[in-house]
Every structure is written in structure tokens, then in C-alpha cells.
Amino acid sequence: MQKSIPASMKTFIEEVKTAYAQDQKAQALFENCFSNTYETTIRPQEDGTTFVITGDIPAMWLRDSAAQVRPYLMLAEHDEEMANLIEGVIRKQFSFILHDPYANAFNEEANGKRYHEDNTKMTPLLWERKYEIDSLCYPIQLAYLFWKSTGRTSQFNDAFRQAVSLIIDTWKTEQNHEANSTYHFERDNCPPQDTLSHGGKGAPVAYTGMTWSGFRPSDDACKYGYLIPANMFAVVSLRQLEEIAEEVLQDTDLAVVAKNLADEMDNGIQTYGKVEHPEFGTIYAYETDGHGNYNLMDDANVPSLLALPYLGYCKLDDPIYQNTRKFVLSDENPYFYKGKVAKGVGSPHTPEQYIWHIALAIQGMTAQSSEEKEEILNLFKATDADTQFMHEGFHVDQPENFTRPWFSWANSMFSEFLISKADRYVKGSPLAK
């Protein structure tokens, strides 16, 4: 059920629309997409927390919910009620992490609803228990950006301290997944990407200093357990946590632990995460196992290799990133598709020849030329299938064939791209000028 939007949102929408005064289609898309998360997915709770559904699925993903409300941080700078709503999201996320750091999606109540009866350690609060590194990164990132946007520090409470300690312990455990981890996940009667091999433990990995992930941000199983862009996101999150520990919490021990773990993981990335490509030179792999096997690809879901400057792992002009970006946006990436209407990055999560609006938003925000940004905007305008909303994946020749008509993350990512193209940014975000 849709609800009326606050005055701060109406004002902000009108301000952004003025940057596209000659483009009615862009204005209409922004007005619909920017308000969509607020109007349809946010559910304030009696305890002051905020539950956020993804759209057409009634559960709350740690990743999606953070990305869904991220553009609203620009409203929270001046709107106390919006700030309260976002702080409620942060508090809800960290309460979920304390419940189970290995779960990716949660129910609004402990009602036992779930996506599937999986062989893993479930509770009535869990919708799904696919372990993904980024599920633990996004709440730290949101809490950090909320601090930078509003100046508030009340989100850094005892639950936050306990949860980040649990996150660090989890990432340390998963540095030695085969020896130390009790996590397992098996699903029956499903596509191979929905379950983990080797009795639910995943393919064998060697120690690298990186931390293991069972699944990608697409909720698809990793081919090799060290997911490079997710480890990069974790390094950034730990650096943000180090800053929070030093400047807000005055907790030297936490700052040192966060820094040391970030350094270990980053050393693993730089040692094991790069390959020499015959066409593009030194690039980052998408996944590796520490045994010398590499998966060269990129996926539309964030964290991705394309998103590294957006996440804050490197600068836009970083040479290895630029090499990697050229690879990702080429036919060498098995999930880069070109068609009559559009070209861009898709995912094994959706059919072949389907590209994602999320990936287009990331491409636009990491583009260095105004020409490429304009090209991306035109692709958005040509591929909404006249719905005035964004979708998960759409066919490169026939955008009217798409997945997920109500997918809030995609709408928020498009909104953030359009805001950034107008030279406005969330405070503290890596791409802010």
C-alpha cells in the first residue's frame, strides 16, 4: 500500500528534476523511482526499528535494504523524521546480524516463513540463510554514511559494538573456512547455483588471508570461495569501522583489530586476486580459490568489479581498475550482453541476454566521460518498458521482457545515478567530489 511522501522528498525531487528540465522522460522516471522505496517497501516497527521489504518478496535483505535507503541519506541531512527512519533500518540490520551473521534475508516477525526448506541452521526469523560477505558490509557502510550525512552517532550503540565484533569474528573464522567454519548450506531440487557442493561446504579453498563467501550478492553460489569484489568491500567496511572506533567510540582495541584484518584481507586480494589478461593486462579476477584457479567474469549485483570506485576500494583512474573495467564491459566477460536496444552487464541469476539496471547505474556512476553518462541515461530511458520503473534484468533486444516488476534496489540505484549525474552525492560516499 502506497503512502504519501514527505515534504523533504517532494522538494528534493523537484530540485533534481531542474537538472533535467529539458528531459521529461528522465524527470518522470526519477519522480517514480526515487519515491518507490519510501512509498512501497518501508515498514516502521513499534520498537522504533524499520523493516524494509525488497519489493515483490516480503523479506528484508541486509544488502538490498541498505542500498534501497542510501539515496535518502541526502534527505536525512535536514529531515529528522527521515533520519529516524534510516536509523531504524540500521538498528534492525544489526539486530538481525546478532541473531545470525550467516543469514542474508529475514522475516518481519519470527513466523517461520522461508524461501525453501534448506539443510542449514534455520530459525523462525530467517527467510534465507545464504552466507554472503556483503550482507555484513552494507550495514557498516550505511551506519558510516549515516554518521557522515547527519552527524548522528546514536546508531553506534551496544548492539552495534556487539554486532561488529561478531562480524569480525565471522570473517576471521571464514579466513580458514574448511578448518574452522561450521557453516554449511544445501538445497534440494534446485539449480546448481542455489546450493553449495561438497556436503554444503563449497569447493575446497586454500588460505589466502581473504575471507570465504558461500554466495554472491546475486544469492548464487560462488564457483570459488574467495569472492574478490566482496573481499574488497569488506576491506573498505573495516577501514570505515576503524574510523568509527577511533573518532566516535574511542575504542583503540577495535580500531587495531579492524585495521589488522583489513590489511590481511587486502594483502590476500593483491597477492591472489589479480591475473594477467592477454588483451587487457593486469585485471582483478571475480573469484579464486587460492589453489591457482580463477573465475574471470563480473556480475550485475553489487559488490561487483565494476563497482570498485563506488564502493571506495580504489579511485576511478586506478590503472588496474580501468583494465578490469574494460574487461567487464567487453565480450570477454561472459555476462556482458549486446543487443539491438541495449548493452551492459547481466548475471547468471537471470536468463542469457538479460542485462540489469543496477549494472547500468554502476557503469554510469563510474564513467569518467559525460558522453558515457549520457549514453547510460539514454539506455535507462529506452528500457523501462514504459512502466516508469526499473527492473532486475531485461532482454537486450526486447526490454518489454523483464524480470521483477517491483524491485526497489534497482529503482534506488537508478535514482542515485541520476542524482550523481547532476553532481550531487551522499556525504562521505567515495564518489563525492
SS (H, E, C) 253-266: HHHHHHHHHHHHHH
For residue 3, name the pLDDT band (cuts at 50, 70, 90). confident
| Domain tally, the chain | 1
Within a domain: 307: yes
Residue with cell 573456512: 177
CA–CA distance, 126 with 121 (Å, rounded to integer): 10
User: Within the chain, how many helices (H) and strands (E) appear?
Assistant: 16, 14
Give the range of the structural domain holding residue 106, as residue numbers without chain letter. Answer: 41-333
The yes-or-no verdict on residue 2 having pLDDT over 70 is no
CA–CA distance, 5 with 8 (Å, rounded to integer): 8
Burial class of 354 by CB neighbour count within 10 A (0 to 12, 13 to 18, 19+): buried
Within a domain: 201: yes
Within a domain: 179: yes
Within a domain: 403: no
In whole numbers, what is the pLDDT of the chain averaged over residues?
97
Within a domain: 400: no
Q: What CATH number should be reported for the domain holding residue 212?
A: 1.50.10.10
Within a domain: 264: yes
Asked whether the beta carbons of 62 and 76 are under 8 A apart, the reply is no
**Checking DSSP bridges between strand 126-128 and strand 50-52, what pairing results, if any?**
unpaired
Within a domain: 394: no
- Identify which of 2, 1, 8, 13 has the alpha carbon closest to the alpha carbon of residue 415: 13
Q: Which residues contact 57 (CB under 8 A, 6 or more apart)?
A: 105
Within a domain: 383: no
- CA separation, residue 303 to residues 108, 234, 277 (Å): 25, 10, 22
Percentage with pLDDT > 90 across the chain: 99
CA–CA distance, 180 with 170 (Å, rounded to integer): 10
For residue 433, name the pLDDT band (cuts at 50, 70, 90). confident
Give the model confidence (pLDDT) of 270-301 as tens digits.
Answer: 999 999 999 999 999 999 999 999 999 999 99
Cα dihedral 26, 31, 33, 34 sign: positive
CA–CA distance, 361 with 382 (Å, rounded to integer): 14
